[in-house]
Amino acid sequence: MLFRKHNRALGLIYSIIVLVTDKTNKLPRFHAMQSILLSAVGAIVGIVINIIFAGAAAAANSGALALLGSLIYLVFVVALLGAVIFAAIKAFQGQIFKLPIIGDLADKWSN
């Protein structure tokens, strides 16, 4: 758990460094901004899922509801990991791949 938090923080720090230092090359700026936005969306959705299902499971005193919340969270984390890996592969290939919704925002904000 501790490694995962530090790994996420290192990715965010690296993305911020790229945005601050590289003012001319659009490809790394775009992918850095998209990485920051994807990390933000992942953190927000993860927190929301935890709050909803932890609160509902505690209120209903239901282990089944807690299990459902854990499964939904697991599916979300796997989907997020898949999106990160796919975007990283496209970035290493030198292609601009826009993830739905946040890709357009990253394109606007990285200029």
Give domain limits for the chain: 2-109
Rounded Cα gap, residues 3 and 20, in angstroms: 26
- Tens digits of per-residue pLDDT, 16-68? 888 888 888 888 899 899 989 998 898 898 888 888 877 777 776 777 777 88
**pTM listed for this prediction:** 0.79
Confidence of residue 6 (pLDDT cuts 50, 70, 90): low
Asked if 71 and 57 touch (Cβ cutoff 8 Å), the reply is no
Average pLDDT of 86-98? 89
Tokens of 15: 């993305």
Q: Band of the pLDDT at 1, cuts 50, 70, 90?
A: very low
The residue to which tokens 């993830």 are assigned: 99
